[in-house]
Amino acid sequence: MTDVWVAGVGMTPFGKFADTSIADLGATAVLAALDDAAVEPGQVHAAYAGHARTGQLHGRENGVGQLVLGQVGIRGIPVTGVGNFCASGSSAFREAVIAVKSGLVDVALALGVEKLSARAEKGRPLTSDGMEFEGEFGFTPPAFFALVAKTYMSRTGATPESLARVAVKNRDHAKHNPYAQYREPVTVEQVLGSRMIADPLTLLSCCPTGDGAAAAVLVSDAVAARIGRSRLVRVRATSLLSGFGSPVRDGHFEVDRRTAAAAYEQAGIGPSDVDVAEVHDAFTVTEIIHYEDLGLCPVGEGARFVDEGRTAIGGQIPVSTSGGLMSKGHPLGATGIAQVHEIVTQLRGEAGSRQVEGARVGLTHCAGGFFDGDVASSAVHLLGG
Amino acid sequence: MTDVWVAGVGMTPFGKFADTSIADLGATAVLAALDDAAVEPGQVHAAYAGHARTGQLHGRENGVGQLVLGQVGIRGIPVTGVGNFCASGSSAFREAVIAVKSGLVDVALALGVEKLSARAEKGRPLTSDGMEFEGEFGFTPPAFFALVAKTYMSRTGATPESLARVAVKNRDHAKHNPYAQYREPVTVEQVLGSRMIADPLTLLSCCPTGDGAAAAVLVSDAVAARIGRSRLVRVRATSLLSGFGSPVRDGHFEVDRRTAAAAYEQAGIGPSDVDVAEVHDAFTVTEIIHYEDLGLCPVGEGARFVDEGRTAIGGQIPVSTSGGLMSKGHPLGATGIAQVHEIVTQLRGEAGSRQVEGARVGLTHCAGGFFDGDVASSAVHLLGG
DSSP notation for A192-247: HHSPEEETTEEGGGBPPP-EEEEEEEEEEHHHHHHH-STT-EEEEEEEEEE--SSS
Residue B371 has pLDDT above 70, yes or no: yes
Which chain B residue's Cα is nearest to A371? B63
Active site residue B86: yes
Query: Which residues does chain B have within 8 Å of residue A104's beta carbon, measured at their own beta carbons?
Result: 98, 101, 238
Which range of A128-142, A308-322, B367-381 scores highest in mean pLDDT? It is: A308-322
Whether A375 and B61 lie within 8 Å, measured CB to CB: no
Query: Which residues does chain B have within 8 Å of residue A79's beta carbon, measured at their own beta carbons?
Result: 84, 240, 242-243, 377
Whether B66 and A242 lie within 8 Å, measured CB to CB: yes
> Which of A39-48, B52-61, B84-93 is predicted with the least confidence, judged by mean pLDDT?
B52-61
| Residue of A161, A172, A170, A169 whose CA lies nearest to A200 | A161
Over range A227-241, report the average pLDDT: 95
Query: Which residues does chain A have within 8 Å of residue B258's beta carbon, measured at their own beta carbons?
Result: 76
Q: Of A1, A79, A245, which is closest to B75 when you measure between CB atoms?
A: A245
| pLDDT score of A324 | 98
Active-site residues of A: which are they? 86, 330
pLDDT in tens, A351-361: 999 999 999 99
User: Are A171 and A186 in contact, with CB atoms under 8 Å apart?
Assistant: yes
Q: Of B74, B77, B245, which is closest to A75 when you measure between CB atoms?
A: B245
| pLDDT score of A369 | 87
With bands split at pLDDT 50, 70 and 90, how would you rate the model's confidence at A125? low
Query: Which residues does chain B have within 8 Å of residue A82's beta carbon, measured at their own beta carbons?
Result: 80-83
Classify domain A4-117+210-232 at the CATH class level.
alpha beta
| pLDDT score of B247 | 81
With bands split at pLDDT 50, 70 and 90, how would you rate the model's confidence at A371? confident
Q: Minimal Cα–Cα distance from A89 to chain B, Å?
A: 11
Say how far apart CA A253 and CA A68 lie, in whole Å.
Answer: 34
Over range B350-366, report the average pLDDT: 98
Say how far apart CA B144 and CA B159 lie, in whole Å.
Answer: 18
Packed helices A64-72 and A22-37: angle between N→C axes, nearest 10 degrees: 60
With bands split at pLDDT 50, 70 and 90, how would you rate the model's confidence at B123? low
Whether B375 and A130 lie within 8 Å, measured CB to CB: no
| pLDDT score of A319 | 98
User: Are A247 and A373 in contact, with CB atoms under 8 Å apart?
Assistant: yes
pLDDT in tens, A63-100: 999 999 999 999 999 999 999 999 999 999 999 999 99
Whether A242 and B75 lie within 8 Å, measured CB to CB: yes
Which chain A residue's Cα is nearest to B332? A62
Over range B3-32, report the average pLDDT: 97
Same topology, domains B4-120+210-233 and B128-206+237-384? Answer is yes
Whether A103 and B101 lie within 8 Å, measured CB to CB: yes
Q: Can you list the positions of beta strands (E) in chain A? A: 4-11, 46-50, 79-83, 107-115, 196-198, 201-202, 211-220, 233-242, 248-249, 252-253, 276-278, 361-368, 377-384
Over range B94-120, report the average pLDDT: 93
- Looking at per-residue pLDDT, the higher value among B228 and A9 belongs to A9
Whether B84 and A81 lie within 8 Å, measured CB to CB: yes
Q: Of A62, A69, A129, which is closest to B52 when you measure between CB atoms?
A: A62
Query: Which residues does chain B have within 8 Å of residue A243's beta carbon, measured at their own beta carbons?
Result: 66, 69-70, 74-77, 79
Fold exhibited by the domain B4-120+210-233: Peroxisomal Thiolase; Chain A, domain 1 (3.40.47)
User: Are A128 and A370 in contact, with CB atoms under 8 Å apart?
Assistant: yes
| pLDDT score of B89 | 98
Whether A241 and B70 lie within 8 Å, measured CB to CB: no
Whether B244 and A76 lie within 8 Å, measured CB to CB: yes
| Residue of B277, B281, B357, B280 whose CA lies nearest to B318 | B277
With bands split at pLDDT 50, 70 and 90, how would you rate the model's confidence at A119? low
How far apart, in Å, are the Cα atoms of B68 and each of A81, A87, A129, A256, B329? 19, 19, 14, 21, 21
Say how far apart CA B213 and CA B12 lie, in whole Å.
Answer: 6
Say how far apart CA B281 and CA B302 lie, in whole Å.
Answer: 13
Residue A122 has pLDDT above 60, yes or no: no
The CB density around residue B342, as the number of other CB atoms within 10 Å, is 28
Residue A376 has pLDDT above 70, yes or no: yes
pLDDT in tens, B293-341: 999 999 999 999 999 999 999 999 999 999 999 999 999 999 999 999 9
Which chain B residue's Cα is nearest to A58? B130
Q: Minimal Cα–Cα distance from B40 to chain A, Å?
A: 17
Whether A242 and B368 lie within 8 Å, measured CB to CB: no
Q: Minimal Cα–Cα distance from B307 to chain A, Å?
A: 33
Residue B120 has pLDDT above 70, yes or no: no
Q: Minimal Cα–Cα distance from A103 to chain B, Å?
A: 7
Tell me the pLDDT of chain A averaged across its residues: 94
With bands split at pLDDT 50, 70 and 90, how would you rate the model's confidence at B124? low
| pLDDT score of A123 | 55
Q: Minimal Cα–Cα distance from B165 to chain A, Å?
A: 32
Residue A117 has pLDDT above 90, yes or no: no
Query: Which residues does chain A have within 8 Å of residue B244's beta carbon, measured at their own beta carbons?
Result: 75-76
| pLDDT score of A232 | 97
User: Are B130 and A128 in contact, with CB atoms under 8 Å apart?
Assistant: no
Whether B62 and A88 lie within 8 Å, measured CB to CB: yes
pLDDT in tens, A190-231: 999 999 999 999 999 999 999 999 999 999 999 999 998 889
User: Are A55 and A40 in contact, with CB atoms under 8 Å apart?
Assistant: no
With bands split at pLDDT 50, 70 and 90, how would you rate the model's confidence at B56? confident
Give residue limits of the domains in chain B: 4-120+210-233, 128-206+237-384
Q: What is the DSSP letter of B128?
A: -
Residues B173, B252, B280, B330: which is the catalytic one? Answer: B330
Fold exhibited by the domain A125-208+237-384: Peroxisomal Thiolase; Chain A, domain 1 (3.40.47)
Percent pLDDT > 90 in chain A is: 86
Residue B121 has pLDDT above 90, yes or no: no
Mutation pick from A102, A105, A218, A332 vs chain B, by most beta carbons of B within 10 Å, is A102
| pLDDT score of B125 | 64
Q: What is the DSSP letter of A14?
A: P
Over range A176-196, report the average pLDDT: 98
Beta-carbon contacts below 8 Å between A and B? 201
Whether A80 and B91 lie within 8 Å, measured CB to CB: yes
How far apart, in Å, are the Cα atoms of A59 and each of A110, A209, B129? 22, 19, 6
Q: Is B24 exposed, middle or buried (0-12, 13-18, 19+ CB in 10 A)?
A: middle
Length of chain B: 385
Query: Which residues does chain B have within 8 Å of residue A91's beta carbon, measured at their own beta carbons?
Result: 80-81
Beta bridge partners of B49: B81, B111
pLDDT in tens, B152-169: 999 999 999 999 999 999
Q: Minimal Cα–Cα distance from B370 to chain A, Å?
A: 11
Fold exhibited by the domain B128-206+237-384: Peroxisomal Thiolase; Chain A, domain 1 (3.40.47)
User: Are A114 and A54 in contact, with CB atoms under 8 Å apart?
Assistant: yes
With bands split at pLDDT 50, 70 and 90, how would you rate the model's confidence at B122? low
Q: Minimal Cα–Cα distance from A326 to chain B, Å?
A: 23
